[in-house]
């Protein structure tokens, strides 16, 4: 309770709610940065290597895609709840997505844990470090030019959440 005292020591107590302090919570915020991981089908088994230094794996960090603010540390994770990821095919078979042990797996067939079904994987640490591993070719649109520079961009942003220390969470927007 707060007591107010005048010069000759008369006192009153302030009513509850007379003096309050509001502390506004901060939440993670998405940055304007983007991250692109390049992997190359040319380097798969039976691929025709083109010497462009792109491989079937690439590692990096997405930590710069969000600022956690004062509630450090923040964590990055995959969460497919309510998310629609790009429609893909590999060898004509539909690609599905699953998160297994913190790794996003794009796969054909019934079981994402079967390595022979996996098309690509993206591992993600809580600190934002990632590794993309391409395991099989992805079918490219037939209306694209047929050449070795046919890039297919797969936006996985919406499958990534950023959570701060007091559990405020955002989902990354499509980049």
- What's the pLDDT tens digit per position in 4-21? 999 999 999 988 888 888
Asked whether 69 and 164 are in contact (CB, 8 A), the reply is yes
47 has a pLDDT exceeding 80: yes
What does the pLDDT look like over 136-149, one tens digit per residue? 999 988 776 676 66
CB 105 within 8 A of CB 123: no
pTM assigned to the model: 0.86
Q: In Å, how far are 31, 70, 153 from 38, measured between CA atoms?
A: 21, 33, 9
């Amino acid at each position: 309770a707060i007591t107010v005292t005048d010069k000759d020591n008369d006192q009153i107590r302030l009513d509850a709610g007379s003096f309050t302090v509001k502390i506004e919570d901060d939440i993670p915020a998405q940055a304007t940065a983007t991250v692109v991981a390049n992997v190359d089908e040319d380097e798969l088994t039976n691929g025709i290597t083109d010497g462009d230094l792109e491989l079937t794996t690439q590692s990096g960090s997405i930590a710069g895609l969000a600022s956690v603010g004062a509630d450090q540390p923040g964590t990055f994770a995959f969460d497919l709840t309510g998310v629609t990821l790009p429609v893909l095919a590999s060898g004509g078979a539909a690609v599905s997505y699953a998160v297994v042990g913190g790794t996003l797996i794009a796969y054909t067939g019934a079981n994402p844990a079967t390595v022979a079904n996996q098309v690509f994987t993206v591992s993600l640490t809580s600190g934002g470090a990632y590794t993309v591993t391409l395991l099989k070719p992805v079918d490219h649109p037939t209306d694209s030019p047929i050449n070795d520079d046919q890039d297919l961009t797969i936006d996985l942003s919406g499958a990534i959440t950023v959570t701060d220390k007091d559990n405020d969470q955002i989902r990354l927007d499509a980049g």
